[in-house]
Chain A
Amino acid sequence: AQSVTQPDIHITVSEGASLELRCNYSYGATPYLFWYVQSPGQGLQLLLKYFSGDTLVQGIKGFEAEFKRSQSSFNLRKPSVHWSDAAEYFCAVSPSNDYKLSFGAGTTVTVRA
């Protein structure tokens, strides 16, 4: 069975600084990879996804993620965070052609002025 690890439970970053959130997965093949964001009291919003092709994918809100097969990683990055980026971020995986998403435990991002 696939699993997802987000090593950082909580990250604090200054507004305007760069942000990187780590995600590692365990799966025999290249899965479908996703990053979601959840603001307080809200549902999950898809930031970006990777299925195949270019390993650097661009998403909404200025986020990007890079798939590294050799490291089984799919880290999320943003060059300059805004206060509105404070939220919880979830990495998720799904086997190709399957439907069930497996989520990491999430990383809470706090943005300080």
Chain B
Amino acid sequence: GAGVSQSPSNKVTEKGKDVELRCDPISGHTALYWYRQSLGQGLEFLIYFQGNSAPDKSGLPSDRFSAERTGGSVSTLTIQRTQQEDSAVYLCASSRTGDPDYGYTFGSGTRLTVV
């Protein structure tokens, strides 16, 4: 597509439920990144994909967080047993390679609210 698409744009869930956030990157972009933006905070790196593999998942805050990418395209970030501290905007970005020289294109994000 023309840009990075994320869905849903907003998600309200009850504490303890599982949620799935979807990212559809720009066609042909091999690198995909997930970031989290908490209220009043900067962007926190979560995970990086190159193709379907994740060479760096060091930013995932706990084992409740997981992500996968299939077909070198769509990625899903899953949060199990959600907690209130998981409330944030989850941003996805893609780039043509893993080199920031090509620049990231960000999606509009999914705003997750855990109640």
Of B61-69, B76-84, B106-114, the one contacting chain A is: B106-114
Residues of B within 8 A of A46 (CB): 103-104
The interface size of chain B toward A, counting residues with CB under 8 Å, comes to 24
Closest residue of chain A to B111, judged by CB?
A: A41
Q: Could you tell me if A49 and B43 are in contact, using CB atoms closer than 8 angstroms?
A: no
Query: A11 interface residue, CB < 8 Å from B?
Result: no
Contact residues of B: prevailing secondary structure: mixed
Query: B85 interface residue, CB < 8 Å from A?
Result: no
- Contact partner, B104, options A41, A101, A106, Cβ 8 Å: A101
Q: Could you tell me if B106 and A97 are in contact, using CB atoms closer than 8 angstroms?
A: no
If A42-B108, A44-B91, A45-B106 touch, whether A94 touches B43 (CB-CB below 8 Å) is no
Instruction: Tell me the number of A-to-B contacts counted with CB atoms below 8 Å.
Output: 55
Q: Could you tell me if B42 and A97 are in contact, using CB atoms closer than 8 angstroms?
A: no
Query: B72 interface residue, CB < 8 Å from A?
Result: no
Q: Could you tell me if B109 and A100 are in contact, using CB atoms closer than 8 angstroms?
A: no
- Contact partner, A100, options B45, B101, B106, Cβ 8 Å: B45
CB contact list, B7-60 vs A, under 8 A = 31, 33, 35, 40-43, 45, 48, 56
Per the bound structure, the CA–CA distance linking A46 and B35 in Å amounts to 16
The interface size of chain A toward B, counting residues with CB under 8 Å, comes to 25
Query: B100 interface residue, CB < 8 Å from A?
Result: yes
- Contact partner, B108, options A36, A41, A90, Cβ 8 Å: A41
Closest residue of chain B to A93, judged by CB?
A: B100
Whole-angstrom distance from the CB of A44 to the nearest CB of chain B? 4
Q: Could you tell me if A103 and B42 are in contact, using CB atoms closer than 8 angstroms?
A: yes
- Contact partner, A106, options B31, B42, B93, B101, Cβ 8 Å: B42
Whole-angstrom distance from the CB of A30 to the nearest CB of chain B? 14
Q: Could you tell me if A32 and B101 are in contact, using CB atoms closer than 8 angstroms?
A: yes
Interface residues of B (CB under 8 A from A): 4, 31, 33, 35, 40-43, 45, 48, 56, 91, 93, 95, 98-101, 103-104, 106-109
For the complex of A and B, 6 pairs with smallest distance between CB atoms: A43-B106, A103-B43, A103-B42, A44-B106, A105-B42, A99-B98
